[in-house]
Amino acid sequence: MTDHLATRGEFSRQADIARTLGSPFVAAVLEAGERHLGQAPRTAALIRSWPGDPSAAALAMRFNAAIHALARRGRPRRLESLYQRQHDDFDGAIAAAMASEDAFIASWMQQPPQTNEVNRAAAILSALMVAGERFGLPFELLELGSSAGLNLNLARYAYDLGGLAAGAPDSPVRIAPVWRGSRPPETAPEVIAAQGVDLHPLDAADEATRDRLLSFVFADQPLRAERLRHALDLAQHHKPRITRADAVSWLAEQLAEPQAAGRCRAVFHSMVLQYLDAADRKVAADLIAAAGSRATRERPLAWISFEWTPNRSEVQLWLTCWPTGEARQLATCHPYGMWIDWRE
């Protein structure tokens, strides 16, 4: 029995987005999941009783990742063979998986998404290039919502930014988003310190962590999966520094620390604000603005935001620099950083 009331069409809406993003396989998984939600009463109850906005909580993406995780485990076999493209019976495979693995799916969906998409590093680095051109100083990075900290290693990746080579040219992690518009400044940001915070930081060396992150990669985007594997391998040799804490408290502590002269402190986050409530978002913004009011030319502050607009119509890259407090939208971006529409 289908339970469309449980999703209110959320899976179908996200399926349309997935298809637009070039992932028809994921779209078909979500549509089949919505049609057969009645096969998974625990999962249906979880979605029906979800306390907040299902889009902001990325419930559809949690479901898709749970199904992908099951396929990676080979359970049930018909689901695994669907993901191996041995047949195209989405309804049969998804319905069977939901019936037999309802408890697994519901449990998986209660944990927040963990994509740690390294392709977004291209946008963050591009913003650092703009700030670098302005200040001419090395950076100390503070990341909110670091997950496994893969983007704290952004200076160790190789980039092609619309034909402009940047980063570490010999890196196994190669990032080349489709680029539209002019290119960022030809500066080479120097990162001399990088640390982040997460409520549940992930260990790149842990097999369960690797499996969870790879499960959140769309099954019809193998290049993303390959890039993620390389980034996870690199993180084992260059372990990111991540504190287990809530973002607001940690940010307050970090910004209260005296900033050394001759460094630009840069706070950045990508697809994190949607998981904070309105009060915490305001506190974080106020903390950054207060730190900005103390910034000087010798101790500047940059704030880089890669986030959905409030109505979730597009993902925007913003850079705010102090001591002037000038805020600029640098680009509109693909949610996973696969393309960048540069506006500078």
Which residues in 4-40 are b (16+ Cβ under 10 Å) and which e?
eebbeebbbbbbebbbebebebbbbbbbbbbbbbbbb
Give the integer Cα–Cα distance in Å for 169 and 309. 33
Number of domains into which the chain is organized: 2
Residue 8 has pLDDT above 80, yes or no: no
Domain boundary residue, one of 83, 109, 135: 109
- 133 and 95 within one domain: no
How many helices, marked H, and strands, marked E, lie in the chain?
Answer: 13, 12
Average pLDDT over residues 322-328: 97
Domain boundary residue, one of 87, 109, 131: 109
> Coil, strand or helix: which one is 167?
strand
- 90 and 162 within one domain: no
Quick one: pLDDT band at residue 243, thresholds 50, 70, 90? very high
Write down the pLDDT at residue 247.
Answer: 96
Q: pLDDT tens digits, residue range 169-224? A: 999 999 999 999 999 999 999 999 999 999 989 999 999 999 999 999 999 999 99
Q: pLDDT tens digits, residue range 15-46? A: 999 998 889 999 999 999 999 999 999 999 99
- 137 and 66 within one domain: no
Give the integer Cα–Cα distance in Å for 197 and 215. 22
**Rounded percentage of the chain residues whose pLDDT exceeds 90:** 89
Average pLDDT over residues 159-170: 97
Tokens representing 167 are 């980063």
Question: Tokens 């306390």 sit at which residue?
Answer: 51
Write down the pLDDT at residue 114.
Answer: 83
Structural domain boundaries, residue 101: 4-109
Write down the pLDDT at residue 4.
Answer: 42
- 239 and 157 within one domain: yes
- 9 and 39 within one domain: yes
- 54 and 136 within one domain: no
- 139 and 83 within one domain: no
Q: pLDDT tens digits, residue range 98-118? A: 999 999 999 999 988 888 999
Pick from 6-10, 52-56, 90-94, 95-99: least confident: 6-10
Of 139 and 344, the structure prediction assigns the larger pLDDT to 139
Domain boundary residue, one of 89, 109, 129: 109
Quick one: pLDDT band at residue 3, thresholds 50, 70, 90? very low
Q: pLDDT tens digits, residue range 105-159? A: 999 999 888 889 999 999 999 999 999 999 999 999 999 999 999 999 999 999 9
Give the integer Cα–Cα distance in Å for 4 and 22. 25
Write down the pLDDT at residue 57.
Answer: 87
- 66 and 146 within one domain: no
Residue 91 has pLDDT above 70, yes or no: yes
Average pLDDT over residues 72-100: 97
- 197 and 78 within one domain: no
Residue 306, H or E segment: strand 301-308
Give the integer Cα–Cα distance in Å for 161 and 61. 28
Write down the pLDDT at residue 52.
Answer: 83
Write down the pLDDT at residue 5.
Answer: 38
Q: pLDDT tens digits, residue range 263-287? A: 999 999 999 998 899 999 999 999 9
- 25 and 47 within one domain: yes
223 phi/psi in degrees, rounded to 5:
-65, -35
- 313 and 176 within one domain: yes
Order across the sheet with 164-167: list the strands. 164-167, 158-161, 174-175
- 265 and 132 within one domain: yes
